[in-house]
């Protein structure tokens, strides 16, 4: 049987990764901007380890079937193409290199269970080089430093955390359920365990009212953590979310695209980190990427140059959010 579940979301950097669904939905489910609420994200479900392993074996069978077909047809140098054609994006000519565990907070699992799943993944796919997952800062804080180290030793390479903002007022407004102090502590603890850390920033989530404190507070938290990656996302108010209702009622006033770039400039300028800054999401306006602090001047220059361009040129790039996708 080659049926297996896949997580509904994953970071863009994991688009070619083996996607393993270890839990379903989110243990929090209250962030007002999160379109996960549309999929009933409030109902966390823990899957049985045996069911997860069955899925992993089913994916292995799928890969073996493609490899066998390639061998029988003298096409071993085209395994990747064949796999993509069969919607198997995670198989390359050299095997499976990267994997992602979903859904939104795998640390909610018992450490023994998560270790068992990760070790089984490496055993089943010996070419694996990286296993990553999403996690909530609050859940990470419930794990001891020893547990996090154990997960790292088992092969958990990276955790993706949604910081969104480092400002406590905005964190409260979006009902993130975590304070900035907890964000800092969780980030530091993950880094100390040896697990690589990717923090996501949500540009525009302070709206017109709090854009400045959002940028400054976020820089403050990121400076205290110094994560391996800072990934920028731009707010899209998706119909069906509580944030969308606040936009419609006028309670939340969104920034204009130019306002978003002004906010991003303030954030980048205030960063004092050694992180890789990444804009790898379709929601972002400018491709601001680079290793900090070296790339800071170039990124700021790019924003300034863009903002100085004639309005009609700028506007042709700054599409309203209705034309972008979450």
| Angle value at C-alpha 85, between 81 and 88, nearest 5 degrees | 90
Does 36 help bind ligand SF4 (rule: CB under 6 A)? yes
Name which of 62 and 176 has its Cβ closer to ligand SF4.
Answer: 176
Q: Which of 7, 11, 29, 227 binds ligand SF4 (CB under 6 A)?
A: 29
Radius of gyration of the chain (CA): 21
Number of residues in contact with ligand SF4 under rule CB under 6 A: 11
Question: Binding pattern to ligand SF4, positions 93-132, x when CB under 6 A?
Answer: -----------x----------------------------
In whole angstroms, how close is the CB of 177 to ligand SF4 at the nearest point? Answer: 7
Name which of 30 and 191 has its Cβ closer to ligand SF4.
Answer: 30
Does 162 help bind ligand SF4 (rule: CB under 6 A)? yes
Does 41 help bind ligand SF4 (rule: CB under 6 A)? yes
Bridge-based pairing state of the strands 45-46 and 23-24? antiparallel
CA 6 – CA 257 distance, rounded (Å) = 34
Q: Which of 7, 18, 24, 28 binds ligand SF4 (CB under 6 A)?
A: 28
Does 152 help bind ligand SF4 (rule: CB under 6 A)? no
Return the structure tokens found at 134.
């999403």
By the 8 A CB rule, do 105 and 139 touch?
yes
CB atoms within 10 A of CB 94: 10
By the 8 A CB rule, do 22 and 101 touch?
yes
Ramachandran angles phi, psi of 119, nearest 5°: -65, -35
Does 31 help bind ligand SF4 (rule: CB under 6 A)? yes
Q: What DSSP letter does each residue of 218-254 carry, written as one string?
A: HHHHHHHH--SEEEEEE----TTSHHHHHHHHTSS-P
By the 8 A CB rule, do 45 and 21 touch?
no
In whole angstroms, how close is the CB of 157 to ligand SF4 at the nearest point? Answer: 20
By the 8 A CB rule, do 63 and 128 touch?
no
Q: Which of 21, 24, 47, 136 binds ligand SF4 (CB under 6 A)?
A: 136
Q: Which of 34, 121, 135, 184 binds ligand SF4 (CB under 6 A)?
A: 34
Interaction site with ligand SF4 (CB under 6 A): 26, 28-31, 34, 36, 41, 104, 136, 162
């Amino acid at each position: 049987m080659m049926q297996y579940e896949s997580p509904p979301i994953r970071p863009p950097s994991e688009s070619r990764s083996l996607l393993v669904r270890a839990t379903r939905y989110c243990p929090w489910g209250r962030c007002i901007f999160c379109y996960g609420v549309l999929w009933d994200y409030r109902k966390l479900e823990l899957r049985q380890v045996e069911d997860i392993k069955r899925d992993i074996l089913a994916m292995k069978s799928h890969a073996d079937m493609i490899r066998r077909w390639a061998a029988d047809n003298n096409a071993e140098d085209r395994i990747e193409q064949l796999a993509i054609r069969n919607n198997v994006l995670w198989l390359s000519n050299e095997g499976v290199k990267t994997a992602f565990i979903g859904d939104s907070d795998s640390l909610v699992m018992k450490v023994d269970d998560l270790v068992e799943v990760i070790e089984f993944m490496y055993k089943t796919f010996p070419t694996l080089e990286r296993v990553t997952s999403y996690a909530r800062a609050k859940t990470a804080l419930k794990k001891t430093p020893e547990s996090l180290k154990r997960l790292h030793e088992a092969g958990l390479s990276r955790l993706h955390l949604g910081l969104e903002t480092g400002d406590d007022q905005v964190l409260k407004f979006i009902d993130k359920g975590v304070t900035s102090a907890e964000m800092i502590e969780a980030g530091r603890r993950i880094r100390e365990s040896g697990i690589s850390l990717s923090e996501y920033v949500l540009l525009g989530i302070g709206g017109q009212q709090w854009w400045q404190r959002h940028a400054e507070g976020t820089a403050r938290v990121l400076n205290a953590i110094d994560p391996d990656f800072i990934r920028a996302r731009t707010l899209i108010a998706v119909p069906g979310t509580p944030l969308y209702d606040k936009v419609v009622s006028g309670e939340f006033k969104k920034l204009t695209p130019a306002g978003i770039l002004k906010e991003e400039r303030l954030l980048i300028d205030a960063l004092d980190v050694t992180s890789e800054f990444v804009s790898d999401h379709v929601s972002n306006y400018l491709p601001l990427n680079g290793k900090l602090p070296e790339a800071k001047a170039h990124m700021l220059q790019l924003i300034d140059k863009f903002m100085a361009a004639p309005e009609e040129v700028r506007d042709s790039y700054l599409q309203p959010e209705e034309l972008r996708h979450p």
